[in-house]
Amino acid sequence: MAPSDTEKSAQEKDAKDAKDAKEKEKDQKDIKDKDIKETKEKESKEYKEKEEKEVKEKDDSEGLAGLSQGAAPPHDLARRGPPLAEPAATGRAFIRPEERPAVGERALRGADEDGDRGR
């Protein structure tokens, strides 16, 4: 049975609504994608700027970073007596932690990334 004009009109309206909904959904997705892309780009830019700023500092270690200074004491030398009772820890170094930057952070930070692993 052929649809009546009313039914036809309703079907056309439904189709139009569906199309509109799809377009709206697409627009929203586009906006969302754009937002994500922009956010990512912004974050990436900020990260890059931060990296560049850090690179201006001399991050390379220059001393004994990975080498013990005989720090593995032989057998009982490490045992000096009973565990220390914890008194109130109030002493601070004159040179504050923020004045003692860690070095080699970039190399260590990349430690979990794939990279040149040998020959």
48 binds another protein (CB under 8 A): no
112 binds another protein (CB under 8 A): yes
69 binds another protein (CB under 8 A): yes
Residue that the structure tokens 């109030």 belong to:
90
Beta carbon of residue 45, minimum distance to another protein (angstroms, whole number): 18
Given a contact cutoff of 8 angstroms between Cβ atoms, the answer to whether 102 and 57 are in contact is: no
Candidates 1, 4, 6, 56: give the one binding another protein (CB under 8 A).
56
Give 2 or 89: the residue with its C-beta nearer to another protein.
89
How far apart, in whole angstroms, are the C-alpha atoms of residue 107 and residue 47? 17
How far apart, in whole angstroms, are the C-alpha atoms of residue 31 and residue 2? 41
- Identity (one letter) of the amino acid at 104? G
Beta carbon of residue 20, minimum distance to another protein (angstroms, whole number): 51
Beta carbon of residue 52, minimum distance to another protein (angstroms, whole number): 10
85 binds another protein (CB under 8 A): yes
Residues with Cβ within 8 Å of 62's Cβ and at least 6 positions away in sequence, in order, are 103
